[in-house]
Structure 1
Amino acid sequence: MNLDYIIPNDWSILEEGFDPENIKASESLFSIGNGAMGQRANFEEKYSGPTFQGSYIAGVYYPDKTRVGWWKNGYPEYFAKVLNAPNWIGINIYIEDEVLDLHTCKKIEIFKRELNMKEGWLSRSFIATLQNDIKVEVNTKRFLSLDMDELGAINYSVKPLNSDASITFRPYLDSGITNEDTNWDDKFWDTLNVSHENNQAFIQAKTMKTDFYTCTFMESQVFIDGKSMIIDPNISADANSASFSYNYKVKQNETYTIHKFGGYTVDRNHDKYELVTAAKKVLEKATKAGFSTLLDNQKKAWAKIWDMADITIDGDVKAQQGIRFNIFHLNQTYLGTDARLNIGPKGFTGEKYGGSTYWDTEAYCIPFYMATKDQSVARNLLTYRYKHLQKAIENAEKLGFKNGAALYPMVTMNGEECHNEWEITFEEIHRNGAIAFAIFNYHRYTGDYSYIPEMGLEVLIGIARFWHQRATFSKDKNKYVILGVTGPNEYENNINNNWYTNYIAQWCINYAVENIERVESDFTTDFTRIMNKAKLSKAEIEQWQEVAERMYFPYSEKHNVYLQQDGFLDKELITVADLDQAQRPINQKWSWDRILRSPYIKQADTLQGFYFFEDHFTTEELERHFDFYEPFTVHESSLSPCVHSIQAAKLDRMDQAYTFYLRTSRLDLDDYNHEVHEGLHITSMAGTWMSIVEGFGGMRVKNDMLTFEPKIPQQWDGYSFKVNFRHQILKVIVNQGQTHFELEGHKELQIEVNGKSVMIAPNKLVTV
């Protein structure tokens, strides 16, 4: 497969030329979504070659029974799977009764595909000669509406070029679909009813076990050279599908077009008995507006998003395309309008990881959503975790913890743990720390403390109880140790005293105690309610503090660095530079046994702690640890390059920072990890945003205000970004040699730039 076939462009993802080898990769890269649903960029017409079909509805999942060879106590009963939903985009095309199928065409010319990120639509155009020698030009455009998030729209046109031709459009709905990712090949959907009237069709279906009720719907209109046609369709329906056939004798060089409107209504938003009625309302509104008006509305909605979220880069098209691709997919995946939803690592682009929520949300995504949207969006993400607190307590109880100790899941849809690899489920407990850090980060950035007495303190208490119980007192060390864990570096399992885990455990306890004291002092009613509910005593808090004060941290006097874990120096310390490149990526070339014994680091581990808690360490300490650990890091996690880019920029290593930035921003576009066909790396895309804003822009919040240490790669002429800081929007424009600040609003904002205080007045340009 050609890994570098995407054409560089500021605002679009472009593919030219038809290569069957790239089909699955392009289906991922050109995916579309609107926060409520999404789909891979599958062809509307039939394609008989290798393809990965996927349409997904936010929040709809199936509990696929765990499949392991040897059951262990505490294993989750199931792995939640995002479901390939009934297909509404399909339009089979027949030209003189021969099906249009790019896999079987005699010849394909000028194939082009475009994902226009500025305006939020996907298009495709090609000229194909069928086996019957009829040559046709095809143009398609589709989008998922941001304004009406239950609706998608397709414009599909066919023009016969070398003769008149009888052309049939056969739009259909199909609920006889399967998942690419399944443990037991279960049937995930139960089709309840297939109905049709006029030019509308509806399939009512529900998920097995979870009983999510859905209605998949469609309505079509046909045109000749733009003129609306009334054609009575032939109708076909069976137990799982419905289709309409619109046949017309099209003259040479006439354009025959179908507008298809479709989508999903779901019982998460409507009464399950009113889904068809709700779908009819969507279709009535859509057909009344028409494709062109809906597309205009789509452009306006995306313009509003880009006005706040865009990052411009001058003089480097690949870098510009990379960051916009990342920002675009983050907004397609999650818009913050529904507090019941969260951000899956693959979004709506594939089925790997089950489409569930990971610690990625708290560690990487919340900064992006805090700064590019209203702070209520980030608060919704924190509220999501508060609503799952009881489940986190139950998760901990299954592993033997008690007294309200909470262990948040590694993977979840509804708060229950559903990850079933023991070294992750039982051991990658650092995820608890990311939840607490997100609460701290939210308060630090927004200044909104209200979340903590209302909800957050209960979360912090549950997490502190977990760390207190998870630590073991070592008589040998006269310290508390944490044994049998997996840190962020998943290329080490079941190790003792992972520095990052121990450090964040200590910090979580101290942060919980600090907030208990503040809430007791300033929010007495909340304090009384929480203490009664949690049954927390001063004696228990003192026991926590004992663990925090006497936490053990492995350290090497020889190297003058904290050790990633107790046994790290026992490894054969061969750097990545000395590793045979033919052995990369090691996760696809080596046995797991060999990986676990190697010194190679999948992603920032100790350095993840230095990223979160940068203020706790000197720049010299960061440099020492960066120089020690980065040479062993293979960056085979999508979450790794962004952290290293930020830290390289902090250390004034701009060439290295730029290289890491390109890797994180073009991870999928250039398919660094040879897996883009499975879907995109959505959560790491927020890390790409951080690598510019926090890395090159040097943005931090210190002493209750924004601070900047702007830097610029030599490859760029300039860059700019906006942040929404406490309801004031600040634009930062960095050029070679100077930085400009512009403030939207009505009051002044004091910031710090390179250690010096600067006052920014509204609507005036300040140059530093």
Structure 2
Amino acid sequence: MKRLFDIDPWKLKTTTLHKEDKRLQESLTAIGNGYMGQRGNFEEGYSADTHEGTYLAGIWYPDKTRVGWWKIGYPEYFGKVINAMNFIKVGIEVDGHPVDLATDNFSDFYLESDMKTGVLNRHYTWKSASEEIEIRFNFKRFLSIVDKEIAAIQISAEVLKGNPAIKLTSALDNNVQNEDANYEEMFWEAVETSVEKPAYLTARTVPNNFGIDRFTVTGAMVNQVTAVNYTVSSSESLLVAEEFSGKVAVGDTVTLNKYVAIVTSRDVGDSEQRVQARQLVEAAAHKGFDQLLVENTEAWATRWNKADVKIQGDDEAQQGLRFNLYGLFSTYYGEDSRLNVGPKGFTGEKYGGATYWDTEAFILPMYLSVADPEISRNLLVYRHNQLDGAVHNAQMQGLKGALYPMVTFTGVECHNEWEITFEEIHRNGAMVHAIYNYTNYTGDESYVLNEGVDVLVAISRFWADRVHYSKRNDRYMIHGVTGPNEYENNINNNYHTNRMATWTLEYTLDTLAKLSHEKAAELAVSDEERQQWQDIIEKMYYPYDDELGIFVQHDTFLDKDLTPVAELDPENRPLNQNWSWDKILRSPYIKQADVLQSIYFLNDRYTQEEKQANFDFYEPLTVHESSLSPSIHAVLAAELGMEDKAVELYSRTARLDLDNYNNDTEDGLHITSMSGAWLAIVQGFAGMRIVDGRLSFKPFLPKQWDSYDFKINFRDRLLDVHVAKDGLSLSLEEGESIDVLLWDDVVTLSDSIKQPLK
């Protein structure tokens, strides 16, 4: 565990520049607005170890798949998010010396990420080598969630000592590369630059051989400067800059307000980009930095009012929860159904920046409660729009139906690690469960009975073709898979995979029975198909051990040396950074919930005894080295009354990045697991479920907390849930009265009620 920032309910703040952990600091102070984002890099640059990264939503490149041994079915390319234009760049020189905190003298350093307003703040006092000059530098920047294309940067330099010449060089720089690019490839080529105000730069992704559209990006900037004068503009093929310089007396302050507009070919045609970018940036500059900041702060306040979870008595827990919500909302807020949530969001390049099954399994349940239903529906629309790509993926494996990708930008698989990409097919179940989850939560069947059933039928056809029938056992089986536990590959009869396959078939058959004649005719599911699906449902094989009373993770799991994690030498953790892959695969250790993932998804299908037996067996073998793991275990532990374990796992999921639990946050934040803290509190501590169309709560209060409070959007109502030592308070803030379940008792909520905790 490593903690760089002080504990504060609303902020990350520190007075230390952690040079040895600069990348970790950059990840944790990343900002975004759903349209673009960047790591917490310094505007003035930094010559020591750093990872400069700016990323634009939906902008990616298909990089040729390179493997030593080509297998039939491999995708032709690996899709990756690409590092984009560095638009915050402002070189600072004092008497000709470039300011660089990697080498220079400075004091009073302060860095702050304000999660309440979305603003990144920094200041320090810089001293010349001779100590004859001292300057107080202040930096402030944000990406607007009101005007998505706009970034605003403010830099001030107050001269405390001396009479220095100060030069500011504000630039748009597209000379950028990915750290993970093969052979240090350059993914951008110049199109046009102009120093005519507002200055702009247009770049385009280099050609590819896969028929993927090339992206064009234009950035335009306006620089408003006081106390020094404009001197010159310059441009190169991938850079445009404006320079301001002059002598500054003691007591005077130089201020630069830099406004940037970024537009892309996803929204604006190439020929219109320059005009639109310049109009947008001029409008932003006309409003001014302060007005843009007021608007942005008000917009963040609206989001927080719907989604904030307030914790009293534990500021560490509070900071962790808000940090996760902030990271998610900075990455995705549902405005664009063409987008999904990348595992690193705008904070790094690991995992290629593409879409994984994490969104449907872990993020959608939170958005259903904290935002408007359209936001969650857009996540479903995203997958429906990519159904053709999923059909293509199945065909590449010689199978019918649809196989949703492990990694994608378009719906076509673009990841080439065979054991994950082509064996971890349980992700198909997460796609279907997301549709069920949305329908069950909202009560709105319009999606599942129209677009949604297209997905259900296509995935059911895949499962019906992927299973095989064992005559010897008179059972259907699924061999050669990887379950959610990626620390085992190419196994047979993974319980979770088999269970989600049959559940999908059940849900599809139930949905087909509700369709209109027109929709049923369009899908053309034959009686023979229905009979086959029902046969699979009735005869699916599930590994089970009578003596232990558990569902077995896969056929040979119990043959392993089942030594619990508690007996491991701590120096071996995390396993994936200390053990060979061969040793991991032979071990009994579980990366994340596997059997327990089924119990989480299909919670009402299991008895408390089954839940307890499986939790008691599998959790002690789980190393939680997936960021997705702690939250699921926290929810189940809370349901089972294991309050201390639930709180322990909440802390791990809430502060996974803040405390760098898995020693990998320098690569970027774990965005798609950031709903975990919310799930642990709302589904775990508060016990929220949907039971027969009703909201149900069975809350408890962690011993070290005084209270917690959250809001729920549910079927045109807004509810406030407050859990404290003196009981549960439930208030209806908007909408008509509603029946809810409190500890299985039906209560009509028309205003507010209060009950003691049980």
> Take 2:175 and 2:148, find their aligned partners in 1: how far apart are those partners?
24
- Letter matched to residue 419 of structure 1: H
1:594 alignment partner, SS class? helix
Q: Tell me whether 1:410 sits opposite 2:406 in the alignment.
A: yes
Quick one: which of 477, 483, 487 aligns to 2:479?
Answer: 483
- Letter matched to residue 285 of structure 1: A
Contact conserved, 1:156 with 1:257, CA < 8 A, in 2? yes
Q: Is the alpha carbon distance of 1:567 and 1:291 closer, same or farther for their aligned partners in structure 2, counting shifts above 3 Å?
A: same
1:143 alignment partner, SS class? strand
User: Paired residue for 2:433?
Assistant: 437
Contact conserved, 1:359 with 1:431, CA < 8 A, in 2? yes
- More deviation, 72-81/129-138: 129-138
User: Paired residue for 1:8?
Assistant: 7
> Take 1:39 and 1:263, find their aligned partners in 2: how far apart are those partners?
15
User: Paired residue for 2:291?
Assistant: 293
User: Paired residue for 2:517?
Assistant: 524
- Letter matched to residue 415 of structure 2: H
> Take 1:50 and 1:679, find their aligned partners in 2: how far apart are those partners?
15
Contact conserved, 1:64 with 1:79, CA < 8 A, in 2? yes
User: Paired residue for 1:419?
Assistant: 415
Deviation at 1:199, TM superposition (A): 5.1
User: Paired residue for 1:394?
Assistant: 392
Counterparts of 1:578-597 in structure 2 under 5 Å? 578-597=567-586
User: Paired residue for 2:639?
Assistant: 650
Structure 1 residues not aligned, in runs of 5+: none
2:674 alignment partner, SS class? helix
User: Paired residue for 2:369?
Assistant: 371
> Take 1:357 and 1:720, find their aligned partners in 2: how far apart are those partners?
32
Q: Tell me whether 1:361 sits opposite 2:359 in the alignment.
A: yes
Give CA deviations for 1:402-430 in whole Å, capped at 9, x if unaligned: 3xx11000010000001110001110000
> Take 1:529 and 1:465, find their aligned partners in 2: how far apart are those partners?
15
Quick one: which of 333, 343, 349 aligns to 2:331?
Answer: 333
Q: Tell me whether 1:706 sits opposite 2:705 in the alignment.
A: no
Counterparts of 1:462-481 in structure 2 under 5 Å? 462-481=458-477
Counterparts of 1:142-221 in structure 2 under 5 Å? 142-198=141-197, 200-209=199-208, 210-221=213-224
Structure 2 residues not aligned, in runs of 5+: none
User: Paired residue for 2:605?
Assistant: 616
Give CA deviations for 1:639-666 in whole Å, capped at 9, x if unaligned: 0000010011111111110110000000
Give CA deviations for 1:222-268 in whole Å, capped at 9, x if unaligned: 124xxxx7x33311211111111100211112111101111411111
User: Paired residue for 1:756?
Assistant: 745
> Take 1:200 and 1:194, find their aligned partners in 2: how far apart are those partners?
8
Deviation at 1:66, TM superposition (A): 1.1
> Take 1:208 and 1:293, find their aligned partners in 2: how far apart are those partners?
41
Contact conserved, 1:330 with 1:685, CA < 8 A, in 2? yes
> Take 2:16 and 2:710, find their aligned partners in 1: how far apart are those partners?
34
> Take 1:513 and 1:131, find their aligned partners in 2: how far apart are those partners?
76
- More deviation, 233-242/454-463: 233-242
1:205 alignment partner, SS class? strand
> Take 1:208 and 1:765, find their aligned partners in 2: how far apart are those partners?
62
- Letter matched to residue 656 of structure 1: K
> Take 1:545 and 1:127, find their aligned partners in 2: how far apart are those partners?
72
> Take 2:653 and 2:737, find their aligned partners in 1: how far apart are those partners?
35
Give CA deviations for 1:108-164 in whole Å, capped at 9, x if unaligned: 211111110111100001112233532221110000001110010001011222211
> Take 1:409 and 1:199, find their aligned partners in 2: how far apart are those partners?
42
User: Paired residue for 1:223?
Assistant: 226
> Take 2:390 and 2:464, find their aligned partners in 1: how far apart are those partners?
16
> Take 1:477 and 1:716, find their aligned partners in 2: how far apart are those partners?
53
User: Paired residue for 2:490?
Assistant: 494
Quick one: which of 538, 542, 547 aligns to 1:549?
Answer: 538
> Take 1:453 and 1:527, find their aligned partners in 2: how far apart are those partners?
10
1:734 alignment partner, SS class? strand
Contact conserved, 2:221 with 2:278, CA < 8 A, in 1? no
> Take 1:208 and 1:129, find their aligned partners in 2: how far apart are those partners?
47
> Take 2:642 and 2:197, find their aligned partners in 1: how far apart are those partners?
65
Quick one: which of 283, 299, 311 aligns to 2:281?
Answer: 283
User: Paired residue for 1:669?
Assistant: 658
Give CA deviations for 1:370-411 in whole Å, capped at 9, x if unaligned: 111111111111011111111111100000113xx1100001
2:51 alignment partner, SS class? coil
Deviation at 1:745, TM superposition (A): 2.0
1:232 alignment partner, SS class? strand
> Take 1:651 and 1:222, find their aligned partners in 2: how far apart are those partners?
61
> Take 1:18 and 1:701, find their aligned partners in 2: how far apart are those partners?
47
Contact conserved, 2:28 with 2:657, CA < 8 A, in 1? yes
> Take 1:745 and 1:653, find their aligned partners in 2: how far apart are those partners?
34
Deviation at 1:600, TM superposition (A): 0.1
- Letter matched to residue 176 of structure 1: N
User: Paired residue for 2:349?
Assistant: 351
> Take 1:342 and 1:358, find their aligned partners in 2: how far apart are those partners?
9
Contact conserved, 1:373 with 1:724, CA < 8 A, in 2? yes
User: Paired residue for 2:679?
Assistant: 690
- More deviation, 693-702/12-21: 12-21
Q: Is the alpha carbon distance of 1:436 and 1:382 closer, same or farther for their aligned partners in structure 2, counting shifts above 3 Å?
A: same
Deviation at 1:766, TM superposition (A): 4.3
Q: Tell me whether 1:96 sits opposite 2:122 in the alignment.
A: no
TM-score w.r.t. length of structure 1: 0.96
Q: Tell me whether 1:506 sits opposite 2:499 in the alignment.
A: no
> Take 2:461 and 2:735, find their aligned partners in 1: how far apart are those partners?
45
Contact conserved, 1:207 with 1:213, CA < 8 A, in 2? no
Deviation at 1:726, TM superposition (A): 0.9
> Take 1:705 and 1:524, find their aligned partners in 2: how far apart are those partners?
30
- Letter matched to residue 375 of structure 1: P
Contact conserved, 1:18 with 1:108, CA < 8 A, in 2? no
1:323 alignment partner, SS class? helix
> Take 1:181 and 1:726, find their aligned partners in 2: how far apart are those partners?
44
> Take 1:595 and 1:36, find their aligned partners in 2: how far apart are those partners?
38
Give CA deviations for 1:43-68 in whole Å, capped at 9, x if unaligned: 00021010001001000100011121
The runs of at least 4 aligned residues of structure 1 exceeding 6 Å deviation read: none
Deviation at 1:749, TM superposition (A): 1.2
Deviation at 1:765, TM superposition (A): 5.0
Aligned residue pairs, count: 751
User: Paired residue for 2:729?
Assistant: 740
> Take 1:205 and 1:253, find their aligned partners in 2: how far apart are those partners?
45
- Letter matched to residue 257 of structure 1: T
Deviation at 1:676, TM superposition (A): 0.8
Q: Tell me whether 1:124 sits opposite 2:107 in the alignment.
A: no
- Letter matched to residue 73 of structure 1: I
> Take 1:765 and 1:542, find their aligned partners in 2: how far apart are those partners?
50
Contact conserved, 1:220 with 1:259, CA < 8 A, in 2? yes
2:192 alignment partner, SS class? strand
Deviation at 1:18, TM superposition (A): 1.8
- Letter matched to residue 279 of structure 1: A
User: Paired residue for 2:719?
Assistant: 730
User: Paired residue for 1:113?
Assistant: 111
Deviation at 1:328, TM superposition (A): 0.5
User: Paired residue for 2:382?
Assistant: 384
- Letter matched to residue 501 of structure 1: T
Deviation at 1:737, TM superposition (A): 3.7
Quick one: which of 232, 239, 242 aligns to 2:240?
Answer: 242
> Take 1:676 and 1:286, find their aligned partners in 2: how far apart are those partners?
34
> Take 2:744 and 2:547, find their aligned partners in 1: how far apart are those partners?
34
Deviation at 1:207, TM superposition (A): 4.7
Deviation at 1:525, TM superposition (A): 2.6
Give CA deviations for 1:580-626 in whole Å, capped at 9, x if unaligned: 11111111000000000000000000000110111001111101000
Q: Is the alpha carbon distance of 1:258 and 1:117 closer, same or farther for their aligned partners in structure 2, counting shifts above 3 Å?
A: same
Deviation at 1:341, TM superposition (A): 0.5
